[in-house]
Each structure stands twice: as structure tokens, then as C-alpha cells.
Amino acid sequence: MDAARKTPDQVTQRLDELYRRLQDAAASQAGYPCNQLFDYSELYRFLGLSINNVGDPFHNSNFWVNTHEFEREVVNGFAFLMGMEPERCWGYVTHGGTEGNMYGLYLARELYPDGLVYFSEDTHYSVLKTMHILNTRSIMIKSRESGEIDYDDLRETVRIHRDVPGIVLANIGTTMKGAVDDVPRIRGIFRDLAMTDYYIHADAALSGMILPFVEEPQPHRFEDGYHSIAVSGHKMIGAPLPCGIVLAKRDSVARIARAIEYVGVLDTTLSGSRNAFTPLILWYALKRSGLSGFRKAVAAALAVADYAVARFNDNGIPAWRHKNSLTVVFPKPPHSVTEKWQIAVYRDIAHIITMPHVTRATVDAIVADCAAALQQGDCS
Ligand SMILES: *Cc1c(COP(=O)(O)O)cnc(C)c1O
């Protein structure tokens, strides 16, 4: 490693190069659900302070250099979007979807220590890791072709294990196909089997910020039957730092709360020291956009997704998308194309996600590249 000290000019030059590279990479990024369109410059001054949200945002702390007040407003804003009364809801700003899912599954495990966790094949890869960390038993359930969980396989598997509580991680928008698991139907399976000890955690990483803003959403609200939900902040909303939100029922969380004398906080969160800047980002986005702003942004992005499906199909490429999804699925193109546009692939399919920074012109360019590769019979 070159540990020698650099001159200020050399340091600046390296940073300038990096900045240019990242700007280019961000502009051509179409395969991952990270909105690149945002402006948080009004918040930059807070980077001059060492702020830290250690502890429960709803509980007093001896450490005051925090943004707990804004974090609580973010939690209440998301509670509103998911149709939960703020008094019954608890939550905090996480480092992203992974932490939010881990938190929901941790709560479930604390409530039902001998519970068995069920999730579909199409579930985000991080959930398997979480199962290892929590050391909980889990069973992977088959997926349907659509990417939804296979309800028959779920019912049959739960039935065999009906002597232990069931914990389901339901996908509200799968990573690869944007499929939405039917939470009321999953709840119905437990009812039919006369099981009262069950817990449903909703992974709504991307679609959690889409479904509240469309005319005919799939079930995604607390009343539909889940007990906790995780949403990513850097996906649909867009953020310069990864972040997310987890919401849970207040009475579930009371079971795990421990008071810590050292910082005078309630130790309900997974991390100790926590980011105090990301709650400001989410707060700013919610307050500046409001419901109408998000409705507009979601409608515009869905229109681009429709446009992408049509353009692919016009060029003989069988692309499709789920209702209310920005994830446009199509057959895996050659490596040259996936690399250029940072397109995610899985087995024989690929997708682009029409986040707000992805324009119709970008779609045209991607479709042209795919069509050209198809014509050349390029399968490398
Ligand atoms: C992106 C994603 C995650 C992980 O979220 P991070 O914010 O990257 O930790 C989990 N589940 C789904 C469905 C996702 O799309």
C-alpha cells in the first residue's frame, strides 16, 4: 500500500477523477433501484457536526446531539403511508432494507423463539444471511413463475409444521421481478390451519414507496395483516447514503426493550451509534415532496416502465412488468449490454428498473443495444 502523504493537489486530482467516474456511472445506472435524482444541498451544513442517533428515537437520551425529533416524524410519516395509527406504531431509521428485515425477523424470533421462518425462493439474498445470524430455523418455499410465493407449497409446508409458530417474510415487491406476495392470503393460510401464533414481516424495500401512491395498490398496509415492515430510503426516495425505515407494532417492541444506563437510552435498535443524517434526508424528502410529489414521481416512473415494455416488445424482445412495478423483466442480454447499463441478471432473465433518473432516451438506448445484440446473434 502506498501510505505516503500526498500533496493537496494530488489529493484533489484523485478526488476529481473519482467524482467524474461516479457521475458517469450514476447516469448510466438502470439495473438497480437507486433513484439518482435528488437535491439535499440544504442539509449539507449538518455534515459539519458529529450528530448521532444512538438509542430509541422515542425515548429520552443523555446524548442530545441527535435528530430523534425528525426521526420520529419520519416514522410517523411512514406509519401514515402504511395506514397505522402513530400511537400503535414504533420504528426507526435503519441503514437500509437488510437491517429493517433483520429487525422484523429478530422481533418475530423474540416473540416466538421456537418459530419457523418461511420465505420464497425469490426473497432477497440477505435474508438467508439474517437466518444464520439469528440462528433461526427456516424453510425456503417455492416461487411461482411470476415471482410470487407459491401459496400451495406454503400451506402444505406450514401444515406439516403447525405445532410450531410460523414466521413469514412476505415480499412486497421481489428484487428480481417486482412480484408482490399476497399478505391477506398468507394470513388466511394460518387462519385455515387454526394457528394463532404467527408473525408476518413485510419486505417492501422498493414497492413500499410505490404502492401508497397508486390508484389500485396490492395489499401493503398494516390492516392487511403483517406485523412489521421494512422499506429502503435510498431506492425510490433517493439518498446519497444508504438508509431505510422499519415499522413494527409498539407492543411487540416492548418485549425486547432494555434500558441502558451508560447513555440513558432504551436499547431497542440493532446498532448502537446510529446515523443522524439519514433521518434528515428522509424527513426532507417527505416534507418537500409530500403525497402529491410522490404520486407524481411514481406515476411518471410507471409511465416510463410502460414505455420500456412497449419499446422492447416493438423490437421483438418479450419484456413485461407486474402491475404497479417499475421492474421491467426481459431475457438476459449479452454481457456487453448488462455491463454497459449495470443491468442485474438472474439465471436467464434480466431487468431494468425505471427509477426517476431513467429517461425515455435511456430506455431507447438500452433497447437499441439489446436489439443490436440480438440481431448479431451475440450470446457472449
Ligand atoms: C434492495 C432490497 C433489499 C435490501 O435492501 P438494502 O437497502 O440494500 O439493504 C431487501 N429486499 C428487497 C426486496 C430488495 O429489493
232 lines ligand 1 (CB under 6 A): yes
C-alpha cell, 265 = 437510552
Clarify whether 325 is annotated catalytic. Answer: yes
32 vs 55: CA distance, rounded Å: 32
> Which atom belonging to ligand 1 lies closest to the Cα atom of 99?
9
The separation between CA 121 and the C-alpha centre of its own chain, rounded to angstroms, equals 17
Q: State the average pLDDT over residues 40-52.
A: 97
Q: What is the pLDDT of residues 352-372, one digit of tens each?
A: 999 999 999 999 999 999 999
Please give the C-alpha separations between residue 6 and each of 3, 9, 11, 22, 150, in angstroms, as whole numbers.
9, 8, 6, 22, 57
> Considering only CA atoms, which of 82, 56, 93, 91 is closest in space to residue 280?
93
* pLDDT at position 267: 80
> Considering only CA atoms, which of 227, 230, 267, 223 is closest in space to residue 251?
227
What does pLDDT average to over the chain? 94
20 vs 23: CA distance, rounded Å: 5
Three-state SS at 352: strand
Please give the C-alpha separations between residue 378 and each of 18, 71, 91, 132, 361, in angstroms, as whole numbers.
32, 50, 49, 40, 23
27 vs 47: CA distance, rounded Å: 25
Does this model's pTM top 0.75?
Answer: yes
Q: What is the pLDDT of residues 270-302, one digit of tens each?
A: 899 999 999 999 999 999 999 999 999 999 999
> Which atom belonging to ligand 1 lies closest to the Cα atom of 172?
13
206 lines ligand 1 (CB under 6 A): yes
* pLDDT at position 262: 65
203 lines ligand 1 (CB under 6 A): yes
Q: What is the pLDDT of residues 170-221, one digit of tens each?
A: 999 999 999 999 999 999 999 999 999 999 999 999 999 999 999 999 999 9
Q: State the average pLDDT over residues 122-138.
A: 95
Q: Which domains does the chain have, with CATH numbers?
A: 8-39+290-375 (3.90.1150.10), 43-287 (3.40.640.10)
Sign of CA dihedral 355, 361, 362, 364: positive
> Is residue 349 exposed (0-12), middle (13-18) or buried (19+ Cβ within 10 Å)?
middle
Above 80 in pLDDT, residue 1? no
Q: What is the pLDDT of residues 89-100, one digit of tens each?
A: 999 999 999 999
Cα(217) to ligand 1 centroid in Å equals 20
Above 90 in pLDDT, residue 11? yes
Above 80 in pLDDT, residue 380? no
Testing ligand 1's pocket by substitution, the residue of 203, 211, 237, 281 carrying the most ligand atoms inside 8 A of its CB is 203
Q: What is the pLDDT of residues 136-163, one digit of tens each?
A: 999 999 999 999 999 999 999 999 999 9
* pLDDT at position 261: 65
> Do the beta carbons of residue 220 and residue 182 sit within 8 Å?
no
* pLDDT at position 259: 61
Q: How confident is the model at residue 62 (pLDDT cuts 50, 70, 90)?
A: confident
C-alpha cell, 154 = 406454503
244 lines ligand 1 (CB under 6 A): yes
Q: What is the pLDDT of residues 229-263, one digit of tens each?
A: 999 999 999 999 999 999 999 988 887 776 666 66
Ligand 1 atom 5: residue of nearest CA: 97
Q: What is the pLDDT of residues 310-363, one digit of tens each?
A: 999 999 999 999 999 999 999 999 999 999 999 989 999 999 999 999 999 999
169 lines ligand 1 (CB under 6 A): no
Q: At 160, which amino acid appears?
A: I
Ligand 1 atom 2: residue of nearest CA: 205
129's enclosing H/E stretch is: helix 126-134
Q: How confident is the model at residue 61 (pLDDT cuts 50, 70, 90)?
A: confident
Burial 195-226 (b: 16+ CB within 10 A, else e): beebbbbbbbbbbbbbbbbbeebbbbbbebbb
